[in-house]
Structures are given as C-alpha cells and as structure tokens.
Structure 1
Amino acid sequence: MQFSLGAIQYFWPKAHVQAFYRRAAESNVDIVYLGETVCSKRRELSLVDYLQIAHQLREAGKQVCLSTMTLLEAPSELRELRKYCDNGEFMVEANDVAAAQFLREQQLPFIAGAAINIYNQHSLRRMISMGLKRWVMPVELSRHWLQQLLAQPLIADIRDCFEVEVFSFGHLPLAWSGRCFTARSENRHKDQCQLCCINYPDGRPVSNQEGEPMFVLNGIQTQSGQRYNLVNQLHSMHGLVDIVRLSPQSALYSDQQDTFAWLEKFRANQLGAAPQPLASSDSNGYWLQLAGFKQELG
C-alpha cells in the first residue's frame, strides 16, 4: 500500500506552499500531486513553479504527478490545461474529461481524478482503453461498491492494468460551481473577489442552525463540513486499494491538522495495529455505506 498527497485544494501563499513541499520531500510519502485544481485566478504559483517543485520532489525519491483543473470555464483555462498535458515529464491527473481526451490524443497514460464520474464497469473499462493507469474512486462511494465493481467481468480480467486510489483524509470535495461562494460570503462579486480565499487556508466553515459543521466554502468548490478520515479503515482496503490519498491541510492551528503527522499515523495503522482516536468532527460514513457525515468507531 502506498500513500499520496493530493494537490493542495486551498489558496496558500507561495512561501507556504514551498515550505509544505519541502516537508513533503523529507517525509515518507510515496506520491505527490501538484497543481491548481480549483480556481484559475489563484496564481501564486505558475506551472513553471510547480515543475521546479516537481523536480525537487523527484530528486527526493517521490513519484510526482500534475493535477489539472476540475471545472473549466474559459479558453485561457483550456490553454493552460494543454500546457499541463504537454509537460513531457510527469504523469497527469485528469480532473476533467477534456484533459483525458487531450492525453488520449497524445497516447499518454493518465490518472482519472475523483471528479470524473466513473460509477460502473463500462465507464471504467472505457477510460482504461483511453489510457487510464490509475483511478481515484469518487469520494462518495463505499468499500462494498468498490469490491463489487472490481469483481465485474469487464474489470476483473484487467485488474493488474491499473491502480486504485482512495481519498482517505481531508475535507471531501463535493461540488464545483460557476459562482464563488467564498467571495459571496464577503459580499463580493466573483470578478472582484480580491482573491479573498487566501484568508481561509483551510476554507471557510459553514455551520447549520444547530452549530454543527455543514460545509466548507473553498472558492467555487464546496467541501464536506466534516473531515473525512479513514485511518482506522486501512485494514479493510487490503486487496482492493493500491494508494491511500491524504489531502493537505494548513496545520496553522493545531497538530491535529498536521498532514505529515497524520501520514505517520496512517502508515502505523496499515494493519489495524495502531488505531487512532477520531475528532468529533471526523467522518468515515461513505466508505462504510452510511450517510457521509457519520462516524463509525472501530
């Protein structure tokens, strides 16, 4: 079982991003994803900057992948997408079917991100025929669903041709919109947002009327209010999951948010020998076929 760091979902200052990836280079992570996946207005780092970080991580022995935007809204974003696909060195995580098509045209292998809606054997088989080599399962699906899909006739005979990756830690990316909810929460128009999401390094929490976490606003992306945490479900992934993904958190507020501390907890509990206490705001429901916000112990 390998462990990956997904692309940073939030808008962090360039120095913060660079410091994070210096720690990643020194960590026990196996795979690192780089790139802006949420909003093209977030330009603290360019593709050139990400490629420089990618080379540093590769020299440190990490496998590096580039992640593309999830919602494309302008021709300029398509041009940037082509640059990612044409990088010539690193495998690309396609978070939109346009990226998958570009990579197919160049006969390049690719990773299908969780935002690409692959829910059955026919869709997965089709993407494999296009060049898919790694598949990140949609975040709302369960272990039972994954087990059933991998046992289907169209997939079982080619299971060794691709890897399965599961989002296992962090606020779940649930939806994307043409509107920017972070800007709206500050009474700003999207075109005059002043990049206010940089003020929320872990997104802007939204609670329901009972004061319970409901969602996290992250620009045009809406995330789960609870932090998804499958640290105690790793034993149930053996034989099904090749790569466990952790989504970076800012670690500005407490050790409970330190991504690399959690990476070590995940590694220690691969066989279930070192179970970890979960915060009351953690959830694991989707993996267990429960409501997404639920937390089941054990």
Structure 2
Amino acid sequence: MKLSLGPVLFYWSRRKLLDFYAEMAEQPLDIIYLGETVCSKRRAMQLGDWLGLARELGSCSQAERVLSGLALVEAASELSSLKRLCENGELRVEANDMAAVQLLSERRCPFVAGPALNLYNAYALRELIDCGLQRWVPPVECSGALLRSCLRQLDGLGVPRPEVELFAYGHLPLAYSARCFTARAENRPKDDCQFCCQHYAEGMSMSSQEGEPLFTLNGIQTMSAGISNLLADYPSIADCGVDVLRLSPRSEGMAEVIRDYAAVCAGALPPMAVSGCNGYWHGRPGMATVEAMGS
C-alpha cells in the first residue's frame, strides 16, 4: 500500500510551508499533494509558487506530485484561478469541486477525485471515471462496509476500479461554509478577516457546553476535534482493496507519523490500539474510538 501526504489544510506562512515540505521530501512518501483547498484568500503561495515547489520536490524525491484545487468555488475570480490550475500542463490535479471535474474533463486530463466530491456509489463513480477519474478519495465518513459495497457494485457494472485512497490520519474535514468561522470568532467580517486563521496552526478548537472537544474551526472549514488514526485498522483496510493511505499534514510530528505508517505498510505488525478516533471506518460516529479487528 502506498502513502500519500494530503494538502495542507491550515493557513501557514510561506516560510513554514517551505520548511515543512523540505522535511517531507526526506520521508518515505509515494504521493505529495500541494495547493490550497480551503480558502482562496490564503495567498502565502500562488500557483507559480506551488509549481516551483513541485519541481524542487521532484529533484529530491521520487514521490508523485499532485495539485489540489479548492473545495468550495464561490466567485468568478476563484473559477478563473481554478481554470489556470487545471491547465497547469505539468501535474495531475485533485478535483475537490465539480467545477474542476468539468474543466479537467473538457481537457481530457486524468484527475484525482478528492474527498469533498461526495461520491458514495458505483454509478456516480462510473460517471466520473468516464470523465477521467483515475484515483478516488472517498468522503471521510465512509465506512469500510460502504467502501466494500461500492467497489463490489463497481465490479458488477464491469467498470475497472480506480485507485482508492483512504483518508487515514489527521483532522477530518467535515463541512464547508460560505461563512468564515475563524473571522466570526474574532468579530471580523469575512471580507476584512486580516488572515486571522494564520494565528491557529491547527485550527481553532471548539467545545460543547459540557466542555468536551467537539470541532476544529479552520476558516470556512469545519473539522473534527479529534485526530482520525486508522493505523491499527490496517488489516481490514488492506482487505477492502485500498491502494493508498492519505496522511493529512499537522504542524508538528508528521515525520514520526509517516514512519509509523511506512513501517506497517512494509510488513510490521500494526499496533493493537492507537490514540485518536476511528469511528467512521467502523460505521460509528466519527469521534468514537473502536477497537480494531484483525490486528
């Protein structure tokens, strides 16, 4: 099974991004996703900067580089930027909005279907495979049972399976909104947010009235409070036919996370339990922690 590093979901400074990817270039990764998926106002890196970084990574790493697009396109300016990304001419693109699917399909460009596309069954997958889908990242709330059912259904339709990439580690991206939660929390209008989400390297924690961690607010994105970690579930994931495990970047400790996953992918026994949540994989609420079976 291959390992991928998903796009950075938080707003980090240009220096922090460059330092982070310099460290990631030394890790045993097969795929590295680059680009902004959450908010078009985050301009620490422009398309040319991402392409330049991709070239640098290509000179020192064997990992495939993929450009990720926005998950919520709201304005003509964002659509124009997305068009330029889809026409980059160098790298495969991860489509996180159906506008990207249309642009890539018109250009007959093979693409990755990101988790924000909400593909839950073989009939929807077949439509997008006809448009050029080559790798599918199921929505983060998909269970192992749903994934198996979907792939069996795809086989029954006589459609070749795309690569399947599972979101295995990190804060789960749950929802997107036209409103910016981080700006609102600081009593700022969205149009004059002053990039306040850059003050929160892993988002802003939100608790329930009882004081329990509930969500992580990241600009217009709502994420899980807990860290999803499917390392102990590796045997059941392998049985599902997953090809790639996606590790979502965090501000600290990613090298250790990658090494743990790489060791299990190389044949080491997975741990019996890990810190973090894995409820969605077992058909339970996402914040639940369920004992892994078959470890």
CA deviation string 1:218-250 (max 9, x = no partner): 000000111111011111122410000000000
Structure 1 CA distance for aligned equivalents of residues 157 and 3 of structure 2? 24
Alignment partner, residue 229 of structure 2: 229
Give CA deviations for 1:117-176 in whole Å, capped at 9, x if unaligned.
11111100110011000000110010111111111155663334x100010101110111
Query: 1:272, CA displacement in angstroms?
Result: 6.4
For residue 284 of structure 1, what is the amino acid of its counterpart? N
Partner of 2:28: 28
CA contact (8 A) 2:215 2:225 kept: yes
Equivalent position SS for 2:39: coil
**Deviation for aligned residue 1:278:** 2.7
> 1:40-79 to 2 correspondence within 5 Å?
40-59=40-59, 60-79=61-80
Which residue does 1:15 correspond to in 2? 15
* Residue identity opposite 1:269 in structure 2: V
Quote how far apart the aligned CAs of 1:205 are: 0.5
Q: 1:125, 1:154 within 8 Å by CA — same for their partners in 2?
A: no
2:151 maps to 150
1:82-121 superposed Cα distances (whole Å, 9 cap, x missing partner): 1110010100000000001000000110111001011111
State percent identity of aligned pairs. 46
Give the whole-Å Cα distance in 2 for the aligned partners of 1:211 and 1:265.
32
Taking structure 1 as the reference length, the TM-score comes to 0.94
CA distance in 1, matches of 2:221, 2:42: 13
1:254 aligned partner: none
Contact 2:96/2:117 (8 A) holds in 1 = yes
Structure 1 residue aligned with 2:86: 85
Mapping of residues 187-202 of structure 1, within 5 Å: 187-202=187-202
SS of match in other structure, 1:28: coil
Residue aligning to 1:130? 131
Match of 1:263 in 2: 258
Moved >2 Å (runs of 4+): 153-160, 269-272, 276-279
- Cα distance in 2 between the residues matched to 1:79 and 1:155: 39
Q: Tell me which of 269, 272, 275 is aligned to 1:273.
A: 269
Whether the aligned pair in 2 keeps the contact of 1:38 and 1:219 (CA below 8 Å) is yes
Residues 38 and 70 of structure 1 are in contact (CA less than 8 Å); yes or no, is this contact kept in structure 2?
A: yes
Aligned length: 289
Structure 2 Cα separation of the partners of residues 155 and 44 of structure 1: 46
Partner of 1:286: 280
* Gap regions ≥5 residues in structure 2: none
Which residue is 2:110 aligned to? 109
Worse-superposed segment, 207-216 or 175-184: 207-216
Please tell me whether the aligned partners of residues 140 and 167 of structure 2 are also in contact (alpha carbons under 8 angstroms).
yes
How far, CA to CA, are the matches of 1:165 and 1:148 in structure 2?
16
The reply on whether 1:181 has 2:181 as its aligned counterpart is yes
Secondary structure in 1 aligned to 2:130?
helix
Task: Please state if 1:216 is matched with 2:216.
Answer: yes
Q: C-alpha deviations, 1:201-230, integer Å up to 9, x for none?
A: 000000112221100000000001111110
Residues 1:153 and 1:114: Cα distance change in structure 2 (over 3 Å): closer
The one-letter amino acid paired with 1:159 is P
Gapped regions of structure 1 (runs ≥ 5): 252-257
Q: RMSD over aligned Cα, in angstroms? A: 1.4
User: Compared with structure 1, are the counterparts of its residues 32 and 155 closer, same or farther at alpha carbon in structure 2 (3 Å cutoff)?
Assistant: farther
Q: State the AA in 2 paired with 1:261.
A: E
TM-score by length of 2: 0.95
